[in-house]
Chains A and B, each alone.
Chain A
């Protein structure tokens, strides 16, 4: 690695929370609209996001480039680490190892997930309007559904634990008491964001998302 790794590591830490952490919460809320509002609710959320001005640049600077840097540099950080949870069987040490394992899982998953969803829209194989039923087709496969559940939990753990470590790495939570309080808050964030993602996964898997939006809309109004 060329250049001063202090700056690279600091940038890596910052990008993980701003913007990627914020994007993750936004993604969880958007997906949750599928659970809360069904086909129409999800479609409205997607329309809102893609109706934003300069959406291409927002995606590029808030999502793609930060993920690319955070992911690639994160792989390098994982490569630089040993795991010694055998001899040092402590909670924080497990979190250290899991942070690296979930980071690698998340990076691989994100590449696949972006290919399967966002890039399929670019290729013209699906549209933003059909994303709900497109997701239904994906998660209808029980193996893929299981992979999604594992990946979502891994990504959420990586975010919540990363947020905890961010607060230490920037010198915000210094003493053990502050770190204990921030641990509880981050644990709460992990639970809430995980539940949002899991509920939306179940929603996508349900029959409501089985067909195209128009029919779903009529059947929903029939009910």
Chain B
């Protein structure tokens, strides 16, 4: 008797969908057979295999993006029960039902749960989030990094450009050009690197423009939402300090 009850257990989903980027969003309900240790991705795979809504009518399978399935690539970020997070690490047993899935609509929605995170990669290009090491001859090894510094810098390097901090930020929206917390934290990472430091001023200058670091309004949702636990608000405050120093140095022509 107990076994029959387990076999019939289902997981309820309410999924916000849309067919094209311009189309109006609508919701569809699904009931997926429960299996132990399910996550949101495996439930979406179940819907893909059997695209039938809760009311029994067939529908187009729900589109989503995923890749690594171990919360390091950031591709499957979506809004699950109101909070942006990765679908792969969202375990069904730990979610309140019905489970509401929505795309992170701060970004352009491509289809259903698929979004375009292009703006984040553009932001990394804008702030020059890399370390220039190319030369016309062998430049040799760069300066060493202190272990104490490496330890906190490593935490910043865990950023997977997933977009959760931008989705959580009330200042990343269509009326605001704010670059978002992720890129600012990457500036801190690359400015902390002994070789990257040589171009620190270029990265700071990029943040001292329209849509730069001034867009931060200190809601601190980013640090509460980051799946990698990156101290984003500490990065923002540290870069606030660095840009302020740069501001005064520029005025004094130092």
Contacts and interface: CB of A to CB of B under 8 A. Distances in A.
Contacts of B186: none
Interface string B218-248: 1111001100000101101111111111010
Contacts of A80: 171, 173, 175-176
A140 interface: no
Given A4-B209, A6-B208, A82-B173, A96 B241 contact: no
Contacts, number: 105
A93 B83 contact: no
Nearest to A99: B217
B171 A82 contact: yes
A168 interface: yes
B221 A90 contact: yes
Contacts of B208: 4, 6
B213 A6 contact: yes
Contacts of B240: 168-171
B233 A88 contact: no
Interface in B23-38: none
Contacts of A170: 240-241, 244
Contacts of B231: 175-176
Contact of B170 (A93, A164, A168, A169): A93
A6 B242 contact: no
Interface string A169-191: 11111111001000000000000
Nearest to A162: B218
Interface residues of B, number: 37
B170 A82 contact: yes
Contacts of B170: 81-84, 88, 93, 96-97
Given A6-B208, A9-B214, A80-B176, A92 B219 contact: yes
A96 B173 CA distance: 15
A28 interface: no
B218 A165 contact: yes
Contacts of B245: 171
Contacts of A176: 231, 233-234
Contact of B218 (A86, A88, A96, A174): A96
Given A82-B173, A96-B217, A176-B233, A88 B212 contact: no
A77 B210 CA distance: 13
A92 B175 contact: no
Listed residue (B219, B231, B241) with the most chain A CB atoms within 10 angstroms of its CB? B219
Contacts of B211: 5
B244 A171 contact: yes
Nearest to B81: A87
A175 B237 CA distance: 8
Nearest to B208: A6
A142 to B, nearest CB: 36
| 8 interchain residue pairs of minimum CB distance | A171-B241, A96-B219, A9-B214, A92-B220, A171-B240, A87-B82, A174-B237, A80-B176
